[in-house]
Amino acid sequence: MLTIWGRKNSSNVMPVLWAADELGLTYDHKMVGGSFGGLDTAAFKAMNPNQRVPVLQDGDFVLFESNAIVRHLARSAGQGSLLPDGLQAQAHADQWLDWHKTTLTLPMIDLFWGTVRCEPEQRNPDLIAKAKAATDKALAILDDHLAGRDFMVMDRLTLADIPLGALVYRYYQLQIEHQDFQNLTAWYARLQDRPAYQKNVMIPFGTTLAEWNELERALV
C-alpha cells in the first residue's frame, strides 16, 4: 500500500493527497511535520534526508519533492485522467509545474508568512506589499494563460492544475485585497466543485499565527 507522509495543512502535501484522491488510490496517510513532529527520527531521515514533507512510500520505493510525487502518481495511475494526452501536452504540464515552483511559490510563501504565519504586531507592511505585488504579477500571467481555457493544459483537470490550485486557494483566503482576475477566479470555482479539492485543499488556516497553530493541532 502507498503511504503518504506529511501534515494535511502543508501546501506541499495538499497536492499529493489531492492527486491521490483524484486517482482513486488507496493509501495510508501519516501526519508528520509541524506540530506533529516526526521529521527528526532516523526512519524519516532515511526516507528524506532533507527532513521535509511530503514523502511517498511504496514498499521499498521512496520519493520526496511534492511535484515529483504528483508527476509519478499521474504517470503511474493517471493515464486518461491526470496525465495529459501526448508528449507536447505532458511537456506543457511539466512547464507549469516548474513555473509553480520558480515563479509563484516564492512570493506566495513571503505573503503567507508575512500575514498568517506571524502575529499582527510583527507584520512588516513593506515586505507584505512587496510580496503581494510579486504574487499578483505571477497570477496575472496565470490569468492570461487561462483565457478561453477551463483547465491548464487540456479540457480536463490534469497534474498541471494541482500544485497551482493549492496555492490559489491560499491566495483567495488571505485577508488582502484581491485583484480582479476573472479567468483565474472562474478556474478556481471549477476546482472548488471537485470533492478531492474540497477535502484536501480547502482547509481553514486562520488569519494569525495563533489561529494557524490552533487549527493545525485540531487536524486529524
Q: To the nearest whole percent, how much of the chain has pLDDT over 70?
A: 100
166 lies in some domain: yes
pLDDT tens, residue by residue, 130-182: 999 999 999 999 999 999 999 999 999 999 999 999 999 999 999 999 999 99
pLDDT for 75-88, tens place per residue? 999 999 999 999 99
Is there a single domain that holds both residue 110 and residue 196? yes
Q: Identify whether residues 94 and 174 lie together within a single domain.
A: yes
End residue of a domain, out of 53, 77, 101: 77
- Specify if 153 maps to a domain: yes
Same domain, yes or no: 113 and 197? yes
Q: How far is CA 139 from its chain centroid?
A: 15
Look at residue 220 in the predicted model and tell me its pLDDT. Answer: 75
Query: Is residue 111 assigned to a domain?
Result: yes
Give dist(CA 88, CA 144) in Å, integer.
20
Please check whether residues 121 and 18 belong to one and the same domain: no
Judge if 162 and 188 occupy the same domain: yes
Give the pLDDT score at 28: 97
Q: How confident is the model at residue 1 (pLDDT cuts 50, 70, 90)?
A: confident
Q: Where are the alpha helices (DSSP H) in 87-194?
A: 87-99, 105-115, 125-145, 162-173, 182-192
HSE (side-chain half, CA atoms, 13 Å) at 153: 23
CA 10 to chain centre: 8
* Residues belonging to the chain: 220
User: Over 80: is that where the pLDDT of 42 sits?
Assistant: yes
Mean pLDDT in residue range 86-115: 97
* Burial tier of 163 (Cβ tally within 10 Å: 0-12, 13-18, 19+): buried
Domain count, the chain: 2
How far is Cα 115 from Cα 173, in angstroms, rounded to an integer? 11
Q: Which residues contact 8 (CB under 8 A, 6 or more apart)?
A: 14, 17, 29, 31, 200, 203, 219
Domain that holds residue 102: 87-212
Three-state SS for 121? helix
Average pLDDT, the chain: 96
Q: How confident is the model at residue 49 (pLDDT cuts 50, 70, 90)?
A: very high
Residues 109-128, mean pLDDT to the nearest whole number? 94
